Amino acid sequence: MSVTVRVPAKVNVQLAVGAARPDGFHDLANVFLAVGLYDEVTVTPAAELRVTCEGPDAHQVPLDRTNLAARAAVELAARRGIEPAVHIHIAKDIPVAGGMAGGSADGAGALLACDALWGTGASRAELLALCAELGSDVPFSLVGGAALGVGRGERLTALELGGTFHWVFAMAGRGLSTPAVFREFDRLAEGRDIPAPVASPDLLEALAKGDPDALASAVSNDLQPAALSLFPELADTLAAGRAAGALTALLSGSGPTTAFLARDAGSAEKVAEALRASGTCRSVRTAAGPVPGATVI
Ligand code: C5P
């Protein structure tokens, strides 16, 4: 017997970052949108915990207990006093170290899959608390849709959306480490007053209306200058997408994946073609959102 869970990637349409906190984390106002690029996590009973991975970026995925999917299984098993005796297989389609919550998706997916496999019957609240322990973006991978995340980004309020938004994602030739991007944010912020992060009312209204033009003028990502400082070539990818007719171009999360909002599915395909031809990125995908969070299939 095995259980498979499908989990979407995310893009941040707003990522407002406050000053570093005493615990090293940053307070955020983080507006997440789940988009239709998926990892599938399958768990099967096994003699002992084992992780395998397939997909274009599979060689970059750690298969030891640092993998968030392995940590999720270990944490849930420890809470129930059982052994995490599962084979976790990840069919990976979300870019690795890309700022699209690929690792978080696998954590949320493994948690939900193990809960179903072991019949642990965890409540939604317990699953969300476990997700928050695994990482700041993991709770959103579980719930999906669209949500405002505050605190580390893990305290979520669901947002109602008035329509579907069409995106193009350009994957970069190398990854960026999230802690490194936050450290660069701190370095660039030195000596400046950093305001408390708040969600933009214009952005929330654009989402509620499902209006891509209004959303395009309201998106923001405070980590973008830090990521560009570490990875200056990303500016060329952003420029290529804008020139191809994207309504807006921004970094996805802590990058280095770049995200381009299009008016509809047809113009998303055109922007994708132009980005592929631009030679400024490794690969290009289109995806629409919102889509549901982690789901047993
Ligand atoms: O929570 P998660 O493990 O995804 O965070 C990865 C790293 O990103 C943290 O170790 C921290 O350096 C940075 N981070 C942060 N503030 C947040 C979320 C993440 O500084 N709110």
**Complex ipTM:** 0.95
Is 207 part of any domain? Answer: yes
Residue 98 annotated as part of some ligand binding site? yes
Query: CA triplet 8, 11, 12: central angle to 5 degrees?
Result: 135
Residue 189 CA to residue 183 CA, distance in Å, equals 10
String of DSSP letters for 105-162? HHHHHHHHHHHHHHT----HHHHHHHHHHH-TTHHHHHHBSEEEEETTTTEEEE---S
Q: Shortest CA distance to 215 belongs to which of 276, 158, 146? A: 146
Is 173 part of any domain? Answer: yes
**pLDDT under 50: residue ranges of the chain:** none
The answer to whether 137 is a known catalytic residue is yes
Q: What is the pLDDT of residues 98-149, one digit of tens each?
A: 999 999 999 999 999 999 999 999 999 999 999 999 999 999 999 999 999 9
The answer to whether the CB of 285 is under 6 A from ligand 1 is: no
Q: Whose CA is nearest to atom 10 of ligand 1?
A: 179
Residue 53 CA to residue 133 CA, distance in Å, equals 23
Catalytic residue among 93, 137, 209, 270: 137
Residue 103 annotated as part of some ligand binding site? yes
Domain shared by 271 and 214, yes or no = yes
Distance 209 CA to ligand 1 centre (A): 31
Domain shared by 270 and 253, yes or no = yes
Domain membership of residue 128 as a residue range: 3-159
Domain shared by 106 and 23, yes or no = yes
User: What pLDDT does residue 263 have?
Assistant: 97
Inter-residue contact 234 to 281 (CB < 8 Å): no
Domain shared by 220 and 177, yes or no = yes
Q: By three-state DSSP, how is residue 52 classified?
A: strand
User: What pLDDT does residue 209 have?
Assistant: 98
Residue 104 annotated as part of some ligand binding site? yes
Catalytic residue among 10, 27, 115, 222: 10
Domain shared by 66 and 80, yes or no = yes
Q: Shortest CA distance to 210 belongs to which of 160, 259, 258? A: 160
Atom nearest to 151 CA in ligand 1: 21
Q: By three-state DSSP, how is residue 182 classified?
A: helix
User: What pLDDT does residue 141 have?
Assistant: 98
Inter-residue contact 11 to 47 (CB < 8 Å): no
Boundary residue ending a domain (126, 159, 192): 159
Distance 21 CA to ligand 1 centre (A): 11
Domain shared by 101 and 208, yes or no = no
Our count of domains for the chain comes to 2
Domain shared by 219 and 73, yes or no = no
Residue 288 CA to residue 128 CA, distance in Å, equals 25
Inter-residue contact 51 to 70 (CB < 8 Å): yes
User: What pLDDT does residue 162 have?
Assistant: 98
User: What pLDDT does residue 203 have?
Assistant: 98
Q: What is the pLDDT of residues 6-38, one digit of tens each?
A: 999 999 999 999 999 999 999 999 999 999 999
Q: Whose CA is nearest to atom 7 of ligand 1?
A: 179
Q: By three-state DSSP, how is residue 177 classified?
A: coil
Residue 95 annotated as part of some ligand binding site? yes
The answer to whether the CB of 178 is under 6 A from ligand 1 is: yes
Residue 154 CA to residue 151 CA, distance in Å, equals 6
Domain shared by 150 and 200, yes or no = no
Is 250 part of any domain? Answer: yes
